Amino acid sequence: MALFGRFNSLQVAKHTEFGLYLDGGPDGEILLPRRYVPKDQPTEVGDWLNVFLYLDSEDRPVATTLKPKVQVGGFASLKVVEINRIGLFLDWGLPKDLLLPHSEEKRPLQVGDYCVVHVYLDKRTRRITATARLDRYLDQTPPRYKPGQEVDLLVVDKTDLGFKAIIDGKHWGLIHKNEMFKFVRSGMREKGYIKEIRTDGKISLSLQPVGAEAVSGLGEQIIEALRAEGGMLKLSDKSPPELISQRFGVSKGNFKKAIGGLYKQGLIRIEDDRIELL
């Protein structure tokens, strides 16, 4: 059965002057308009094409080879391009904008604003729909992460403690203020690391590797930077945290551990205002 709101591999059923009809199984033949038919190679009846399925403005099934910014089941930060009595319409990369009903808003939005949403398929209408009410789609399974594990993050909201972020599209996590060693805003996608899973199930995140791996990887970056700068960097264990964060995007504590390890290996010399490659 064809999956609407997702990419499907469908077989070409026939050619017409306005496009190709694809075999949608129980959904019948689905039109791939001519403007989306691949032009780099001939397409014959029986060939398979990877297409995204959705409903057009008249609620008819239609296929496209365009790639939307998000599929059903996913999360994304999308721009509001229109608002009317039905709801808000979001730019998701397809000719027909994505509907965010007013009932699914979490806060008032204006045209030009960005909003992090979850995309789902309305079971009654089969329309692809967005919601800003994310809690019902997260933390549905026990977290099975390990401290230090690398994860994909979607930054969502700023709080008094830091930034809430979605981990691998499955769980909520928090990047605490003291882990902010780079610019972060809502809607950004970042590599992150599991710092701690608390006894209450809440997850603390870091934007830099944690533990021994953090120091090891940072040490390699410092050596590369020294070589690129001719063997000397105007940073040391006495430098302000802001300068260290600006240069390497890490905490002063991790920087001190890293250069301490390089010093013990006899790779660098540490002065009050600089480090030098030996």
Element of type H or E holding 242: helix 241-248
- C-alpha 73/C-alpha 119 separation (Å) is 6
- Beta strand ranges found along 168-273 (DSSP E): 171-176, 189-197, 203-206, 232-233, 268-270
Residue 30: its pLDDT value, please?
A: 95
pLDDT at res. 215:
58
**Which has more pLDDT, 218 or 75?**
75
Q: How confident is the model at residue 245 (pLDDT cuts 50, 70, 90)?
A: confident
| pLDDT surpassing 60 at residue 138 | yes
Give the pairing type, strands 171-176 and 162-167: antiparallel
Q: Which residue's structure tokens are 């409903």?
A: 55
Question: Which residue, among 179, 140, 146, has the nearest Cα to 163 in the 3D structure?
Answer: 179
> What is the pTM (predicted TM-score) of this model?
0.78
Q: Compute the average pLDDT of residues 122-131.
A: 89
| pLDDT-derived band at 187, boundaries 50, 70, 90 | very high
**Could you give the CA distance from residue 117 to residue 109 in angstroms, rounded to a whole number?**
13
Section 177-199 average pLDDT: 87
Q: How confident is the model at residue 255 (pLDDT cuts 50, 70, 90)?
A: confident
Supply the pLDDT for residue 216: 64
Predicted confidence band of residue 214 (pLDDT cuts 50, 70, 90): low
Position 212 scores a pLDDT of 56
Q: Show Cβ contacts of residue 258 under 8 Å, excluding neighbours closer than 6 positions.
A: 215, 218, 219, 222
Written as six digits, the tokens of 42 are 């001939």
Mean pLDDT estimate for the chain: 89
pLDDT at 257: 82
Say whether pLDDT at 250 is over 90. Answer: no
**pLDDT tens digit sequence for 29-59:** 999 999 999 888 788 899 999 999 999 888 8
